[in-house]
Structure 1
Amino acid sequence: MADLRGKTLFITGASRGIGLAIALRAARDGANIVVAAKTTDAHPKLPGTIHTAAAAIEAAGGRALPLAVDIRDDAAVDDAAQQAAETFGGIDIVVNNASAISLTGTAETPMKRVDLMMQVNTRGTYTVTRACLPWLRTATNPHILTLSPPPSLDPAWYGPHVAYTIAKMGMSLCVLGWAEEFREAGIAANALWPRTVIHTAALAMLGDAVKPEHCRTPEIVADAAHAILTRPARDCTGRFFLDEDVLAEAGVTDLTPYAVDPSKPLLPDLFLPVEAP
């Protein structure tokens, strides 16, 4: 496949950040984008709503269906999938991007926050994929792409924030299972994770722990996602991709344009082995 023209992408958390960047990249091909997110009114610290995202998608050349969806609500997710299929004639691609984060230890993470991360990250990924599955089964070149890291049992990633790590690894284990479960059906299930920290508005919610100048922009993940989603589904499943590696395979070796500040060193993202100097 050369592009995603005419394809319908159901993207969770597409009102801002990486989800919106993936949507805009697909929109430039002429894709249909289901903006499945909670934000209908502007947040004081997190700019972007399903409506502003839809406007940007259509300005980029795509078609948009903004749907206010809390992916913890099974009925709402089922209804959104039905609306998407009725509007665009099916669903070709699911992008599980929505995620909740709290980089806190056990005593510092209240159960309300634990529940949020488990329900949005692992359960939400499962719920959305399950709801879209009937249309993926009949699609041409169907893909499930989940924004989650390579599975790891390294205790170094569990000790500092055990609840968040479990919630993210749960997303990755879904990918592992779906790649095998849907192999004969020809539905690709893959994961994508950034090599470095990505600068999004959500970083502000973590305080000053990460400075933007040490990050890359969401466009690097969007371009990597596009490269994956245009591959033949039957030949590309069960992979845990890193954005840099995907772009290298696509012939993109100069990643400088993706840096917020090319003069500053980049911070590696979580869950990845520390590379030798």
Structure 2
Amino acid sequence: MATLRGKTLFITGASRGIGRAIALRAARDGANIAIVAKSSVANPKLPGTIHSVAEEVRAAGGQALAIQCDIREEDQVKAAVAATVDAFGGLDTLVNNASAIWLAGVLDTPMKRYDLMTGVNSRGSFLCAQACLPELLKSPNPHILTLAPPPSLEPKWWAGHTAYTLAKMGMSFVTLGLAGEFGRQGVAVNALWPKTIVATDALNMIPGIDLDRCRKPEIVADAVHAVLLRDAKSSNGRFFIDEEVLREAGVTDFSQYAVDPSKPLLPDLFLDP
């Protein structure tokens, strides 16, 4: 495919940051987008809501459905999928973007935070896939794309933030399982991870990160777009890196994605330099 025009995407965590950027990139193709997130009212610390992104999607040329949904809640997820199908007549893509983060050691991780990350990251990705798959199996080019890193058992990626790594790698292992089970049925199940840290509003909540040394969310959005254009039957079980995907697509100038092109970039977690 050369475009996502007419395709229906179900994007979790789409009220800001990377999810918003993915929605807007697909909107420029004329896609139908379910903007799925908890944020229905503006937060001064975390700007953006499902409604503000819906307006942006429509302005960019897409169709939008704003859905308030906590992906930890089974009934809410099922209702969100049903609303999407009712509005757009089907479903072609699930983007598991929603994620919770808490970068702290074992003794500094409240169980409330542990449960939140597990519920949103690994369990939420599994639940959204389970709810979307009956509709995805009807699509001519179905994709499940999860924002998760290549699986790793290297202790250096676990020490210091075991709870987060467990929840995030849970998304990776869900990807492996779904790819093995549904790839043979024609569903492309893959993961994508940024090579460098991406500047999002959520990073403002984490001290010590120089946002000027990050890339903009648009690099991930462009990489997601490139993956979703692939033939589902020949692209499955991959753990893509955003920069590598874009290089394959012919991108050579990555300075456009840097917050400050004059500064060295910060590598993301779970990837060796």
TM over 0.5: yes
Q: 1:235 Cα shift?
A: 0.6
Match of 1:194 in 2: 194
Task: Report the TM-score, using the length of structure 1 for normalisation.
Answer: 0.98
Q: 1:211 Cα shift?
A: 1.1
Q: 1:253 Cα shift?
A: 1.5
Task: Report the TM-score, using the length of structure 2 for normalisation.
Answer: 0.99
- Structure 1 distance, partners of 2:22, 2:44, is 23
Q: 1:75 Cα shift?
A: 0.3
Match of 1:116 in 2: 116
Match of 2:217 in 1: 218
Structure 2 residue 250 is the aligned partner of structure 1 residue 251: yes
Match of 1:153 in 2: 153
Match of 2:262 in 1: 263
Q: 1:123 Cα shift?
A: 0.2
- Structure 1 distance, partners of 2:155, 2:262, is 33
Q: 1:59 Cα shift?
A: 0.4
Provide the aligned length of Structure 1 versus Structure 2. 273
- Structure 2 distance, partners of 1:212, 1:122, is 27
Q: 1:17 Cα shift?
A: 0.3
- Structure 2 distance, partners of 1:44, 1:28, is 28
CA displacement, residues 124-155 of structure 1 (integer Å, 9 cap, x when unaligned):
00011110111100001000000000000000
Match of 1:138 in 2: 138
Match of 2:9 in 1: 9
Match of 1:46 in 2: 46
Q: 1:249 Cα shift?
A: 0.5
Structure 2 residue 176 is the aligned partner of structure 1 residue 176: yes
- Structure 2 distance, partners of 1:162, 1:74, is 26
Structure 2 residue 242 is the aligned partner of structure 1 residue 231: no
Which segments of 5 or more consecutive residues in structure 1 lack a partner in the other structure? none
- Structure 1 distance, partners of 2:16, 2:261, is 23
What is the RMSD of the two structures over their aligned residues, measured on CA atoms?
Answer: 0.5
Which amino acid is 1:32 matched to? Answer: N
- Structure 1 distance, partners of 2:151, 2:60, is 35
Match of 1:31 in 2: 31
Which segments of 5 or more consecutive residues in structure 2 lack a partner in the other structure? none
Equivalent position SS for 2:113: helix
Match of 1:65 in 2: 65
- Structure 1 distance, partners of 2:239, 2:144, is 12
CA displacement, residues 76-118 of structure 1 (integer Å, 9 cap, x when unaligned):
0000000100110011000000000000001100000000000
